Structure 1
Amino acid sequence: MSTSKPFPVPDPTASYWHSENDTFVHTRTTNDLPSETDVLIVGAGYAGAASAYWLYKQCHTCPLKVLMLEARTVCSGATGRNGGHLKPDYYREYLKFERLYGQKGAADIGNFEHEHISEIKNVVEDLQIDCDLVLTRACNVHLTEGAVDGCIKAMDALKNNPYSNVLDDIQILEGNNARVVSQFPKSPLALTFTAGHLWPYKFVKGLLQFCLERGLNLQTNTCVDYIETLGDGSYLIRTARGNVKTKKVILATNAYTSAIAPEFDDKIVPVKGTCSHIKFTADNKYTPYLNYTYGICRDFSEHEYLINRSDGSIVVGGAKPFYLKDKESWYKNVDDASLFKADIERWYSTFMQDNFSSWKGTKTEVDYLWTGILGYSVDALPWVGEMPNQKNKYVLAGFHGHGMPRVFLSAKAISEMILRGVAVEDTGLPQPFILTEDRLKQTRNNILQETGYHKYQTKL
């Protein structure tokens, strides 16, 4: 399914992260929309919730009217459909980033991601958010000659970067050490580094509850159809429930950004992916537990990711070989109301036993299988900042399936720009994240190439 404008579709597939049927997802603070607001946030996922959090956290001297409009229900987009990983990505794209942005630019990205671990730990503890946050280690296993070679080259380059703060956190395991520590017998090389995992919806809910107590007006099932620029420089936000005038607007819309900001057509592309929840059947004699979260790297484009939850169940996503060759099924596709046609459920039903030594002999089943729409950026980096020549319209989107260690502090930067007039260059954002006119004009779309789509076309 492909649409001319990528608006969210109704009735998405059931994600494990929404399995508790929490009625908070339907929140409407008031019966009707206000006619005016100071700041309007489009989107009630991680980016929208983090934006509201930082606005209220940092606004000490003035009452602030903030309205949040969500097309569907709270956290029903990519955040509520991801793998639950809080995992900085130290090295997998390092060589490309160093080539494009130099040693400092590449290091700034890695350092920024690493900061998210302590920042999210602190806010979860400060607000006492019950979101199953666990700080642990990530273990990336590399299964092919190409994956191993790419990892070694990236690490060699990273070791020579004087600006990087993350190298001391990385452990390299080779040969038998890699296989024993990772519990992945097929891996000749593994890397471990600090990471975490959590229940994404509950984290977003906790941020929003903090904001609601301070005056946030949250309106779900209220799709923004169009944004009109008025003569006084303010914006008129048009919805089927009425229109709202706002001084400032934040587009926390990820994959759906180009639906209301056409400048991002072919800059932020909707990409459909899939994820699952695996549980033990009742007749298991024991419950193995993995000490790490995982990235399973067969090559750069073909990998899976998983977390081991405290009850022993697994959330795992990926499965690209099952659908990547069918471009129409995933590229520029916003249909998360349907599954892929391939039998991905069967693949995941024995995935753990087929890959991990400690899971041999166990019996599992897939009780949740869902799809979600990722906002792939054409240069693999988010777009953060004020729209060129559109004052007070801010964008926080295009997180390329890697938002958990990038969104929170990017939202802080937007808040500083709005509340204190700080220039985007002075917010601490990595320079490559910054939304500029030149970046919009010059960036070219390499998504099909970098996802490995052409590899499947060659096979055909």
Structure 2
Amino acid sequence: MELYNGDLYWPTTESDDVVLKKSEKKEHYDVLVIGAGMSGTLTAYTLQQDGVDFAVLDGRKVGTGSTSANTGLIQYSNDIMLHELAEKIGEEAAVRFYRLCLDAVESLDQVAEDVGASEIYIRRDSLCFASEEADVAKLKLEYEMLSKHGFEVEWLDREALRERFPFEKPAALITKGDAEVNPLTLSRQIIRHLSKQHVPIFEETSVDEVVSDGEDWLVFTSNGTFKANKVIFATGYGPAPLLDSHRIDLNRSYAIATNPIAEFTEWEGRALIWETKRPYLYLRTTPDGRIIAGGLDEDKAETPHNEALMNDRAERVKEKIAELFPMYDLEVDYAWVALFGESVDQLPFIGEHPNRPNLFYLLGYGGNGTVYSMLGSHILSALVRGQVHPDADLVRLDRT
């Protein structure tokens, strides 16, 4: 499966390949983590913190899957708003899930500090604006629900928004506690950290088949057979073996990185920006002064190799930035398209296979994949150690 296509920005910020300590394959592991992108590395980090015996496998060189195409907006708010999620799963469960996401943003901050990546994990506010007048009522409901449950949120009407940003929209919310990240650097720093801790990591080890022998799982790979009591699939938007995928939609999204901008005096706090319309525009800045923006999502599970189409989408994203910030002289320096997955209810799938004991999945489908991966790593670490996690029911694989 081709996860992305185009000219990626993040690899240009990483000058060195990850040099791993050579790992000798053991006869048996307690846990195998399959996948060394953001989901796999965060899972591995948490397992290592919790003292689990495990190894990591990845079919590619580490950091060359979906993580390198991630736009790096870290937000606890979801593609489905809190008040909308409450209508689907109940207010108590919805608030519990949102708190998990907020806690995950804090955990990511600690991970970045621990692995020496604090300079690329930068805390930001988020601004969500009403795309049109009809969306103001929905945004107001969200403001009231967030306020009711103690989330730090600010309401801006049209005039207040115009005083603080150089564009006019009917209304907006500012939420606190989010972040931006260079996802490739963070995942690679985690891998470097784990390698120094002598965690066995086997890259360019593609998985061919996973079979139970009655007691353990045999994982047949291009690098021989691995045996483990438990297997965690942290495969991003790639295939999830032995799992029914009928409740998952794969789509594609376009993104660009602009030329560096001299200063962002008009962009208050360099906040992460998104909107109520679906599909929505999302944008952020980078430490070297670029704007990363994306959107124009399409319901197609393939990445096009059509240069004219790619150029058209890149120009359209640039034009949307210019509508908000007309004072910037923008050029498209990098443009790409990437697959992303969504579940029917907009929540991730995290937990044990309902019919195959000791097979686990961390599938962070949705717009907050990195946040879902962080919270999921704690759930899975508890489950593989035989513990009960109080929030595992929210994201279990067999939920209706």
Match of 1:317 among 280, 294, 310: 294
2:252 alignment partner AA:
K
Alignment of 1:203-352 (within 5 A): 203-232=186-215, 234-258=216-240, 260-261=241-242, 263-280=243-260, 286-289=262-265, 290=267, 291-297=269-275, 299=277, 301-320=278-297, 324=298, 327=299, 330=300, 332-333=301-302, 335=303, 341=309, 343-352=312-321
Q: Which residue of 2 aligns with 1:414?
A: 380
- Structure 1 pair 148/75, CA: closer, same or farther in 2 (3 Å)? farther
- Structure 1 pair 345/20, CA: closer, same or farther in 2 (3 Å)? same
* Kept after mapping to 1: 8 A contact 2:55/2:200: yes
TM superposition shift of 1:147:
2.4
* In 2, Cα distance between equivalents of 1:50 and 1:336: 30
* Kept after mapping to 1: 8 A contact 2:350/2:392: no
* In 2, Cα distance between equivalents of 1:143 and 1:10: 30
* In 2, Cα distance between equivalents of 1:203 and 1:371: 21
* Kept after mapping to 2: 8 A contact 1:35/1:243: no
Q: TM-score, normalised by structure 1?
A: 0.79
Post-superposition Cα deviations, 1:69-92, rounded to whole Å, max 9, x if no partner, equal 212232333332122111111685
* Kept after mapping to 1: 8 A contact 2:127/2:174: yes
Alignment of 1:2-401 (within 5 A): 8-9=1-2, 12-24=5-17, 29-30=21-22, 36-59=28-51, 65-89=53-77, 92-160=80-148, 164-166=149-151, 169-185=152-168, 187-194=169-176, 195-232=178-215, 234-258=216-240, 260-261=241-242, 263-280=243-260, 286-289=262-265, 290=267, 291-297=269-275, 299=277, 301-320=278-297, 324=298, 327=299, 330=300, 332-333=301-302, 335=303, 341=309, 343-356=312-325, 359-360=326-327, 362-401=328-367
1:341 alignment partner AA:
L
Q: Which residue of 2 aligns with 1:446?
A: none
- Structure 1 pair 338/41, CA: closer, same or farther in 2 (3 Å)? farther
1:19 alignment partner AA:
T
* In 2, Cα distance between equivalents of 1:315 and 1:383: 28
TM superposition shift of 1:242:
2.3
- Structure 1 pair 348/99, CA: closer, same or farther in 2 (3 Å)? closer
SS at match of 2:339: strand
Share of identical aligned residues, percent?
21
Give the total of aligned pairs: 396
- Structure 1 pair 380/197, CA: closer, same or farther in 2 (3 Å)? same
* In 2, Cα distance between equivalents of 1:223 and 1:365: 39
TM superposition shift of 1:206:
1.8
1:203 alignment partner AA:
L
2:204 alignment partner AA:
N
Alignment of 1:414-453 (within 5 A): 414-419=380-385, 421-423=386-388, 427-429=389-391, 431-436=393-398, 439=399, 442=400
The answer for unaligned runs of 5 or more in structure 2 is none
- Structure 1 pair 48/314, CA: closer, same or farther in 2 (3 Å)? same
* In 2, Cα distance between equivalents of 1:416 and 1:340: 48
2:56 alignment partner AA:
M
TM superposition shift of 1:133:
1.5
Post-superposition Cα deviations, 1:56-109, rounded to whole Å, max 9, x if no partner, equal 1111xxxx5422121223233333212211111168522331122211101011
* Kept after mapping to 1: 8 A contact 2:4/2:69: no
- Structure 1 pair 208/28, CA: closer, same or farther in 2 (3 Å)? closer
The answer for unaligned runs of 5 or more in structure 1 is 1-7, 443-460
Q: TM-score, normalised by structure 2?
A: 0.90
* Kept after mapping to 2: 8 A contact 1:37/1:67: yes
TM superposition shift of 1:318:
0.7
Post-superposition Cα deviations, 1:249-294, rounded to whole Å, max 9, x if no partner, equal 1010132243x22x3322233322221111148xxxx533422333
SS at match of 2:229: strand
* In 2, Cα distance between equivalents of 1:207 and 1:245: 24
* Kept after mapping to 2: 8 A contact 1:79/1:200: yes
* Kept after mapping to 2: 8 A contact 1:130/1:202: no
* In 2, Cα distance between equivalents of 1:75 and 1:22: 13
SS at match of 2:208: strand
1:48 alignment partner AA:
G
* Kept after mapping to 1: 8 A contact 2:37/2:236: no
* Kept after mapping to 2: 8 A contact 1:29/1:219: no
SS at match of 2:120: coil
* In 2, Cα distance between equivalents of 1:102 and 1:242: 47
- Structure 1 pair 338/377, CA: closer, same or farther in 2 (3 Å)? farther
TM superposition shift of 1:23:
4.3
* In 2, Cα distance between equivalents of 1:90 and 1:126: 26
* In 2, Cα distance between equivalents of 1:17 and 1:80: 6
SS at match of 2:238: helix
Q: Which residue of 2 aligns with 1:4?
A: none
1:276 alignment partner AA:
I
TM superposition shift of 1:372:
1.7
